[in-house]
Structure 1
Amino acid sequence: MMMQRRALLGALALPFLANSGLAQGWPDRPVRLVVPYAAGGPTDTVARLLAERLSADLPQRVVVENRAGGGALIGTEAVARAPKDGTTLLFTTVVHAVHRALHGQRLSFDPAADFAPVALVGVVPQVIMVPPSSPVRDMPGLLDFLRAAPRAYGSSGAGGSSHLGVELLKSMTGVQAEHIPYRGTAPAVVDLMAGRIALVMDSVATGAALVRGGALRGIATTGPRRSSALPDLPTVAETVPGFAATTWNAVLAPAGTPEPILAAISAAITAALGDAALQARLVELGVEVPAAAERNRAAAARFVAEETAKWEKLIAEAGIRAE
């Protein structure tokens, strides 16, 4: 079975390699998939699942390398400066779309000009959660609650998806809530359980278990469709049309990587994500894998560009600054 999968992948990649004149093809060496976060988190978990599948399909191993720190800047910069040969790739999130708006001229790289999107791996909706003791039970009730009196919400820090999602809700509805940044969503959730803040918006990858276990009450998820991880919850968009605030996972290569190599990488990831077992595992983690036509290079480039424009506009309008 493994030999058949390798043969299939080789057949998919062959036109790209033949047209490129690369006698040895891609990859002819192990590939580093750089995750700009610490090991063990949801992004790292998804990256390792993908790397495992790719390693089974390709003639070389794909190895995850965690380069955490600086709000994902350290790992991202490392890939921007890496050789342009397909051996070092970035496995990133929505944070890539906000680097420029948050850090401006302090950046040592350009998130758009220095990277070539290769594939969109998955989209991860968030879930709005309140304490079990809260009177809030649905989105209309949450909006009324926030309008009735000053409230506070917690996030993983300025510019994170849990922060930007609530700021987007505020901008689209006119409600107000004070932002309390934490060092990660875990301590924010602790204060939420204790009733010290009114709500937290967190990735379904970590929040779904809290909701299903009854530790917190889920109000709504933030994707364009209901989440497979919490299918009984409505979306925010069912109350606030057009609302969407997700995080996501995408693979990027250093800009200037030869087109045939980019095409071969994209083909390999597309084939890997077509594996039913991998898809099932990602669904368990709350990751929604796009259809093949929505995760290729062109679609990934459009998606990242649209996310960048959306969040840069919000950051400017809300006056958000990096911590």
Structure 2
Amino acid sequence: MIARRTLLSVAGLAPLSPPTLAQTNWPDRPIRLVVPYAAGGPTDAVARILADRLSMTLSERAVVENRAGGGALPGTEAVARAPRDGSALLFTTVVHAVHRALHGGRLTFDPQADFAPVALIGVVPQVILVPPDSPVRDMRGLIDFLRAAPRAYGSSGVGGSSHLGVELLKSMTGTQAEHIPYRGTAPAVADLLAGRIALVMDSVATGAAQVRAGALRGIATTGVRRSEALPDLPTVAEILPGFEATTWNAVLVPAGTPAPMVEAMSAAIWRAVGDGPTLTRLSELGVQVPAPDDRNPAAAGRFMASETAKWERLIREARITVE
């Protein structure tokens, strides 16, 4: 054994320690992709594409585990407390960036310190929806409409992307609108169709179908570039420079997961979903995938840090609270 180690040392190599071997052998067991939302929604749909593709390209199977309810807190906590062995991944959204601002000392985990970013799968713009008989036809008309009289808008709930997006619009335009939270955007859209509220900001993953069918009028999308799901609609930023209010899909692991393992996960994810047909499927769901140079853990971490700072500032300034 001594002679072998000496030989390795002379050759400029070091014997692999057990932790290094474990890190380079990922995955060595089935993978749980924990989604803190119910099955069947847009986030779940993207997670299942990823799980299916990982199962096809890795030696171990990846399965989606839905842990819905509680504002995404129970599912998120489960991953924060999971082993640091690459067996449990969190598939989350923009809600992860607002946990700390909304829940503060009631949290049992730290959204930043207790997690390590692996991959930003992509951002999902929203679309501003109004009833087909609304006088609003474009962004300038919407701003004037909100300034003219008291209005109400619906969202999927406090702290969701459909809530924060309208609050950001109000902040940047100096307009007012009463927030009516619902248990999901579906009931909010139902009340929009019934004329009980004036507008809803919904993910293009679900809202685009309503626009294409003519059931609702789309005013603008909320990403930095036009959505391929609704290419004829302008972005809000074309009228209001600097505006961006998207949800997103990101993969995280418990903090303390070995860095080589995190890098291996990121590489495996992009091998799994970076092919043409899969990218097309994601685009059809409204997901705007990052550029190749940004498909790595460091870029994902920078993006999430920026989103956290942005939305925490808005929550503080708008005095948004959760009862």
- Superposition TM-score, scaled by structure 2 size: 0.93
* Aligned partners of 2:118 and 2:251 also within 8 Å: yes
Give the corresponding residue for 2:267: 267
Query: Does the residue aligned with 2:22 lie in a helix, a strand or coil?
Result: coil
Give the corresponding residue for 2:57: 57
Which ranges of 4 or more aligned residues in structure 1 deviate by more than 3 Å? 17-24
CA offset at residue 271 of structure 1?
Answer: 1.3
* CA root-mean-square deviation: 1.4
Give the corresponding residue for 2:103: 103
Give the corresponding residue for 2:116: 116
CA offset at residue 19 of structure 1?
Answer: 11
CA offset at residue 69 of structure 1?
Answer: 1.2
Provide closer, same or farther for how the CA distance between residues 172 and 24 of structure 1 changes in structure 2, counting only shifts above 3 A: closer
Provide closer, same or farther for how the CA distance between residues 263 and 23 of structure 1 changes in structure 2, counting only shifts above 3 A: closer
- Tell me the number of residue pairs that the alignment of Structure 1 and Structure 2 aligns: 307
CA offset at residue 23 of structure 1?
Answer: 7.7
CA offset at residue 20 of structure 1?
Answer: 3.5
Provide closer, same or farther for how the CA distance between residues 270 and 189 of structure 1 changes in structure 2, counting only shifts above 3 A: same
* Aligned partners of 1:19 and 1:260 also within 8 Å: no
Give the corresponding residue for 1:161: 161
Give the corresponding residue for 1:42: 42
Unaligned runs of 5+ residues in structure 2 are 1-16
The whole-number CA distance in structure 2 between the counterparts of 1:294 and 1:315 is 28
Q: Percent identity?
A: 78
Query: Does the residue aligned with 2:71 lie in a helix, a strand or coil?
Result: coil
The whole-number CA distance in structure 2 between the counterparts of 1:23 and 1:70 is 33
How does 1:247-262 map onto structure 2 within 5 Å?
A: 247-262=247-262
CA offset at residue 18 of structure 1?
Answer: 12
Give the corresponding residue for 1:241: 241
Give the corresponding residue for 1:171: 171
How does 1:1-323 map onto structure 2 within 5 Å?
A: 20-22=20-22, 25-323=25-323
The whole-number CA distance in structure 1 between the counterparts of 2:309 and 2:150 is 30
The whole-number CA distance in structure 2 between the counterparts of 1:294 and 1:248 is 15
CA offset at residue 154 of structure 1?
Answer: 0.3
The whole-number CA distance in structure 2 between the counterparts of 1:37 and 1:274 is 24
* Aligned partners of 1:123 and 1:289 also within 8 Å: yes
- CA deviations 1:69-89 (Å, max 9, x no partner) are 110001000000000010000
The whole-number CA distance in structure 2 between the counterparts of 1:72 and 1:293 is 30
The whole-number CA distance in structure 2 between the counterparts of 1:23 and 1:280 is 32
Provide closer, same or farther for how the CA distance between residues 86 and 38 of structure 1 changes in structure 2, counting only shifts above 3 A: same
Q: Highest Rg: 1 or 2?
A: 2
* Aligned partners of 2:30 and 2:60 also within 8 Å: yes
Provide closer, same or farther for how the CA distance between residues 217 and 124 of structure 1 changes in structure 2, counting only shifts above 3 A: same
The whole-number CA distance in structure 2 between the counterparts of 1:276 and 1:20 is 34
The whole-number CA distance in structure 1 between the counterparts of 2:291 and 2:273 is 9
Letter in 2 for 1:60: E
CA offset at residue 145 of structure 1?
Answer: 0.5
Provide closer, same or farther for how the CA distance between residues 19 and 232 of structure 1 changes in structure 2, counting only shifts above 3 A: farther
* Aligned partners of 1:129 and 1:218 also within 8 Å: yes
The whole-number CA distance in structure 1 between the counterparts of 2:184 and 2:215 is 18
The whole-number CA distance in structure 2 between the counterparts of 1:268 and 1:290 is 16
The whole-number CA distance in structure 1 between the counterparts of 2:197 and 2:290 is 34
Letter in 2 for 1:192: L
Letter in 1 for 2:241: P
